[in-house]
Amino acid sequence: MANYTQTLSNKRLAIIIWIIVIFFISVLVKTFNVQINKHKSYVKQANNQRERDVRLLANRGYIYDRNKDKFAITIKKDTVFATPYLVEDKEKVAKALSPILKESRSNIYEKLSKPGGFVFLKRKVNKSTADKIKELKIEGIDLYKENERSYPLGRNASQLLGFVGMDNEGLSGLELKYDKALKGRIGRLKDEKDAFGKTIPGTRGQYLKPINGNSLVLTIDREIQHKAQVELGKAIKEFEAVSGSVTVINPQTGEIYAMASFPNFNLNNYKKASKESMKNRAVISLYEPGSTLKIIPAAASMAEGVYQSDSSFYLPPTLNVAGKSIKEAHERGAVNFTLSQIVSESSNVGISKVALKLGKKRFYSYLKKFGLLEKTGIDYPGEISGYVAKPEHWYGPTIATIAFGQGIAVTPLQLARAYAAIANGGKLKKPYLVRKVLSPAGKTVKTYKPETLKKVMSKKASFEAILMLEKVVAEGTGEVAQIKGYTVAGKTGTAQKPKVGEKGYGDDYVSSFIGFAPAENAKVLTLVIVDSPTKGYYGSQVAAPAFKEITEFSLQQLNMPPE
């Protein structure tokens, strides 16, 4: 009996020993797993709760117009953030914040459940939202100041200026083109927090001070820009057009005074803007220029000594060119016109004769000289170049149709620059939008000056071309564009639009007027384009009145006294 009891005790002891051994083995395994296998993971979680790593955004530089009036500024906005481990009842807090932040409860709860010690709940909220958050006084929910881009004038120059994203990075327009100069350098702050989310003294680690961005002073005059947008909008509305653009430039320097497009959008609410409203049509839209191109072959013929402004032409009612009948916009009988009259009366037959005499190679070379087949090089992203087929691909009547602006596509800015070369004595200028770059302290970092790219024609030939364009306004198709006290040189354009996906031309038109003043010492050149008007379509009717209003206002704004 005693042996049996002894044996049972030994077995129980052995079981207890094995239990103890297994317990210690499991503890060792667990300890090994925690300290070795999952060491990095737990350290990371601990660091996430204890350490804070925050980006410190620099103040983005301002954008000014040429007179230092503000186009784009930086303001302070409150951003709502959470320290998740300090939020006790996450479900209750998510429920309270949801209607204030206008975010779903589940989305807020998910953010509050993250292991990190810092999480954005909503960035750059308005004052009303910030005040409501403050009133709640929830442990672990707080606010801090961030920079936000603001545009005091809303729609003024919207496509030109462009906009920035949530982290103040340029996304379009000049904000994108000059993003590196404007945004400055982002700073960084790393420190450690206690259980209450307070910085532990002496734990500040990496600290990189943000450096504020430089500012831009544009060539744009915001008053001229506003006038251009207003008058363009009136023309679009009155003639029930689809879209349009206005370009105002100093032909002597290449400085852009205004660049407006319709439709436009509010820069302070760009997320609701349509793609069409974001287009800066002056630099990214091609169109056939129609009769506004006629001055180019006329000027080329004088530059080459082929014709003079008073050279006489017999012009039949129609002209047969390689089997195609070239007609006038308005029926007429046979006439004798000078070269000057061909331009002022906008004769298709006459300018076709001029181009035929020039020949394909010379005509094409002047299209290139006037910069109509290449990008202007303006300091703006996304510019495209004009297009016309090379002369070897021109069939019979092509040279004639190009002469009056069909079969060639240009941007508004390219055409404006070409006319500027006539207005300034024959020099092709590089258009530009930024005059100066200023440091955060207001000192000039860089200055941009006028740049002549090449000589297009002699002063004599350009002067003769100016006189022709003066005659257009004085007694030709552009009489509506006359401005009291100033001589104006200009040209109307009424171009049929090509059919989309088909050959030939449809019933829609592009109406335009381009001109400059004072004619023989031009300081302002304006191009107005109205696309697809439905109540009238002649350039003299649709675009010339807007040209007159914009140009007259610009001359006054720039303190150009009447002649």
Q: Is 190 exposed, middle or buried (0-12, 13-18, 19+ CB in 10 A)?
A: middle
Question: Which residues does residue 199 pair with via DSSP β-bridges, in sequence order?
Answer: 193
Q: Is 15 exposed, middle or buried (0-12, 13-18, 19+ CB in 10 A)?
A: exposed
CB of 61 closer than 8 Å to CB of 147: no
Catalytic entry in 172, 291, 532, 540? 291
3-state secondary structure 362-389: HHHHHHHHCCCCCCCCCCCCCCCCCECC
Residue-wise DSSP of 426-455: SEEEPPBSEEEEE-TTS-EEEE----EEEE
Question: Which residues does residue 144 pair with via DSSP β-bridges, in sequence order?
Answer: 79
Residue-wise DSSP of 44-99: HHHHHHHEEEEEEPPPPPPEE-TTS-EEEEEEEEEEEEE-GGG-S-HHHHHHHHHH
Active site residue 215: no
CA distances from 211 to 99, 183, 501 (A): 37, 9, 52
CA distances from 353 to 248, 288, 335 (A): 32, 20, 14
Of residues 212, 70, 206, 217, the one with CA closest to residue 147: 212
CB of 346 closer than 8 Å to CB of 357: no
Rounded Cα distance between 379 and 15, Å, is 86
Residues 6 or more apart whose Cβ sits within 8 Å of residue 27: none
Phi then psi dihedrals of residue 174, to 5 deg: -65, -25
Q: Describe the crossing of helices 348-358 and 295-303 by its angle, rounded to 10 degrees.
A: 40
CB of 190 closer than 8 Å to CB of 304: no
Question: Which residues does residue 119 pair with via DSSP β-bridges, in sequence order?
Answer: 82
Instruction: Enumerate the active-site residues.
Output: 291
